[in-house]
Amino acid sequence: MKEEESVFKVGDKIVYPAHGVGIIEGVEEITVEGQNLVFFSIRILEKEVLIKVPIDKVEKVGLRKIITDSSVKDIMEILSRPPTAQEGEKVSWTVRHREYAEKIKSGSIEEVAEVYRDLMQLRRGKELSFGERRILENAQQFLIGEISEAKQISPEEAEELLKSLFQEEGEEEKC
């Protein structure tokens, strides 16, 4: 499969599920087990990691374009909704952890926003475990990266935008 046949091209900023925002830096042919395969070289911006993805597998791994500025409003609306698991419900940490991990791995910005919202609300009532804090930080970084690219603002401005939704009057936000 040639690059022209792909939805993406060199220079495109994309989202790679569970990794965040990246940029397609190049296309190269690599021989794997005697077969010539064509790969995108993707640099993940937040982590400065280079990942190679076979062009014919971009859909399977969930590579997608960054949301638009107008889609950020939809994300803000999701973040403003009540949490999925209501406080009275007893859901074990292992079940929640598995659900959150699946949502983050999906690469869906809407599902990542739900995870962020639910954990931000949960920590208002209790201290989050180490695992919950890690998932919250991952979701936050994913959202910051994509929102800052979509709105063409700095990551710091995107972080403030997110945190402002969960800050009580006179409360300092921690993450």
pTM score of the predicted model: 0.82
pLDDT bucket at 53, cuts 50 / 70 / 90:
very high
Q: Give the tens place of pLDDT for each residue, 113-155.
A: 999 999 999 888 889 989 899 999 999 999 999 999 999 999 9
Q: How many helices (H) and strands (E) does the chain have?
A: 6, 5
The arithmetic mean of pLDDT across residues 51-69, rounded, is: 93
Please tell me the distance from the alpha carbon of residue 84 to that of residue 144, in angstroms, as a whole number: 21
Considering the chain, tell me which residue range(s) the CATH 1.20.58.1290 domain(s) occupy: 69-164
Considering the chain, tell me which residue range(s) the CATH 2.40.10.170 domain(s) occupy: 3-65
Give the CATH number of domain 3-65. 2.40.10.170
Neighbours of 14 (CB within 10 A): 21
Tokens read off for 12? 């495109």
Task: From residue 39, give the alpha-carbon distance in Å to each of 25, 34, 61, 170.
Answer: 11, 15, 13, 50
Fold that domain 69-164 belongs to in CATH: Methane Monooxygenase Hydroxylase; Chain G, domain 1 (1.20.58)
Q: Give the tens place of pLDDT for each residue, 1-30.
A: 444 467 899 999 999 987 889 999 999 999
